[in-house]
Amino acid sequence: MMDTNNFDPRSVDVATFARRGGCVSGTSALAELARLCDEAHPEARPDAGDELRWQVTGESRAVRGGGAEIWLHLKADAGLALVCQRCLQPVVAGLRVERSFRFVADEHQALAIDADIEEDVLVLSRTFDVIELVEDECLLALPLVPRHEVCPQPLTVAPDPIGLEERKNPFEVLGELKLQRKPSLG
C-alpha cells in the first residue's frame, strides 16, 4: 500500500504509484479550481466550504510478452451551481466522474495507441498533477445545457416595444404606396 502522508496530488510519480497499487482519496476546495469556477453562476460562486471529493487508484497490469501497463483510475464528485439556460438562475449540477487512463512512455506511442483503441491514453511523467486531471474531467462532465427540471420562478418575458403598436400587413403597406404613386386620369 501507499504512504498517504507523503502523497502530493500535484506531483505524482504515476509509474511508482501504480506499481505499489496506490489508492488515495482526498478533497480539494472548488474555489481553488479556477477553470471550474469560471463555469459557475456569477452569483453562486464556490466558496471555501465547497469541496470536490476525489479518489485515485494506481494499477500495474501484467501484459503477455511485454512490460506492465500503467493505469490510473479516477473517481470524483462535486456539486457546482451553473446558470440555468431557461431562467438564468443558479442550478446545482452534480458532477460525477469515473475514468481510467492508460499511461505510455512517450507522445509517439500515445498517438499510435490512441488511434487504435477507445481507452484514454496519457504520456507517463514523474510529476503528474492529479488535481489538474480531476479538474479537466469535471469540466468535460459539465452538462451542455444546464437547467432546472422546473424553474423556481416563473419565466418573465420582456414586452416587445415594437409589438406594442399594431403592425400593418406588409402587403397592405405596399398597396397604399402603389395608390399614392398612381397618376391621376383627369
Q: Does 165 map to a domain?
A: no
Domain of residue 48: give its range.
Answer: 4-141
* Contact partners, residue 74, CB within 8 Å, separation at least 6: 54, 55, 56, 97, 98, 99, 100, 101, 130, 133, 134, 137
* Contact partners, residue 60, CB within 8 Å, separation at least 6: 18, 19, 21, 68, 69, 70, 71
pLDDT score at 66: 78
Q: Does 69 map to a domain?
A: yes
Q: In whole angstroms, what is the distance from residue 52 CA to residue 135 CA?
A: 9
Statement: residue 17 has pLDDT above 90: yes
Q: Does 110 map to a domain?
A: yes
Statement: residue 110 has pLDDT above 80: no
Q: Does 153 map to a domain?
A: no
48: pLDDT confidence band, cut at 50, 70 and 90? Answer: confident
Q: Does 161 map to a domain?
A: no
- Each residue of 61-104: pLDDT tens digit? 988 877 889 999 999 999 999 999 999 999 999 999 999 999 98
How many domains are contained in the chain? 1
Average pLDDT, the chain: 85
pLDDT score at 130: 92
- Each residue of 155-175: pLDDT tens digit? 666 666 655 556 778 888 888
Q: Does 135 map to a domain?
A: yes
Q: In whole angstroms, what is the distance from residue 10 CA to residue 80 CA?
A: 22
Statement: residue 177 has pLDDT above 80: yes
**Residue written as cell 506511442?**
109
Three-state secondary structure string covering 40-80: CCCCCCCCCCCEEEEEEEEEEECCCCCCCEEEEEEEEEEEE
Q: In whole angstroms, what is the distance from residue 127 CA to residue 26 CA?
A: 18
If one compares 55 and 65, the residue with the highest pLDDT of the two is: 55
Q: Does 100 map to a domain?
A: yes
Q: Does 171 map to a domain?
A: no
